[in-house]
Amino acid sequence: MTSFKQSGWRAVTMALLVATAVGCASDGGNREPKPLQAFDSLVSVAQVWKTNLDGEVGDALRLAASGQLVASATTDGVVAVVDTETGALVWQAKHAARIVAGAGFDGERVGVLDADNHLSVFAKGKLLWSVGLPARSYTPPLIAGGRVFVLLSDRRLAAFDQEAGAQLWLRRYGDSALVLANPGLLTAVGNTLAVGLGEKFAAVNPDNGALLWATPLVRPRGAEDIERLADWVDGAVFAGTRVCGQAFQNAIGCLDLSTRRVEWTVPFTGANGVVGDQNTLYAVDAASRVSAYETATGQSKWTQAALTFRGITPALLLGQTIVVGDYEGYLHWLSRDDGRVMARMPTDGSPIVGKPLLVNGTAVAITQRGSLFAWRPQ
């Protein structure tokens, strides 16, 4: 566990808590990555390009897409935008500090957060502005509506003008003795910000930061602070009048946005969030098992354990398949119907970082070594 003191709270890395949860899983104590098995290829996929960035990619860094462009960042400070049609580098910049979270992207500007607690915004290969933050953040900034939003680890949310970096507002929504050093939920839904504030899903007014309403997915339990961590993690599904997501190491479930009440939850470990649609949700647990649930009821449909303990990434929906990466740099295409393996593609042998993205029919993923790969169905 790594921790640091700031405003009276401590940050806990996801790695320790996931390891703790996995150690409690019903696996007989064997946590060795499951060897890959032969399978009948049922989907034809081809790699269409590869682009190398300069530097390694940390666990909290994420790809972001807009149009046919994808933005990325490396821990060493490289900020880049790539055209997903060709893999060509559109522009690249070098940040002076170590990047710990990002990227946020609106098609023109890229926002990153660094180890010195600065929010920096780049465009066309140049630094536009950089401002200091009052606390650490592990969630990629959101660039939307002429503003840049940052979710801070101490339950504060800040908004900045996207042109010059002037702070527009800063709001606190509670406090906690322990916070999760892991990307949280921060996205725009219509004219509202959807934010994970601890265990609560919250709707926030982007104009002034006013809290419109908030509902917990679960009720934190346990005698110790670490046992009570149940933060909404990055990766939510908005399906009709529902929002579905994951409370860290506790459960996945859905809320009814019209009544603001919990419809259902099921116990679930890990911190990969959920993907899905109005019919089915898909989630990856702390032991790298991939499971499917009915969106309306939470009833289990299937669980695929072929990739157990392989460090599986959050999932991407791609047609009739689910795409996940693993710690050896493989991407796996699984059937949405039953979870069986349908295709597998190698990269550079280093772990896939974060969730693969779908951009104009192209699946894009980044490795820990800083290589971007793209595939298309044949």
pLDDT tens-digit map of 152-197 = 988 899 999 999 999 999 999 977 667 777 899 999 999 999 999 9
Residue 26 has pLDDT above 90, yes or no: no
Has residue 143 got a pLDDT over 50? yes
Q: Give me the pLDDT at residue 23, please.
A: 41
Q: How far is CA 321 from CA 169, 289, 360, in A?
A: 42, 16, 16
Return the ∠ at Cα 185 (arms to 183 and 191), rounded to 5°. 145
Q: How far apart are CA 36 and CA 307, in angstroms?
A: 7
Please state, rounded to an integer, the average pLDDT across all residues of the chain. 90
Distance CA 242, CA 124 (A): 38
Q: What predicted TM-score, i.e. pTM, was given to this entire model?
A: 0.91
pLDDT tens track for 197-230: 989 999 999 999 999 999 999 987 766 666 667 8
214 and 200 Cβ atoms separated by less than 8 Å: yes
CB count, 10 Å around CB of 19?
13
Once rounded to an integer, what is the mean pLDDT over residues 285-308?
Answer: 98
Reading the block at residue 56, the tokens are 């390694």
Query: Region 71-84: what's the mean pLDDT?
Result: 97
Query: How does residue 99 score in pLDDT terms, banded at 50, 70 and 90?
Result: very high
User: In the chain, what are the domains?
Assistant: 34-377 (2.130.10.10)
Residue 173 vs residue 5, higher pLDDT: 173
Closest to 34 in 3D by CA, of 291, 367, 305: 305
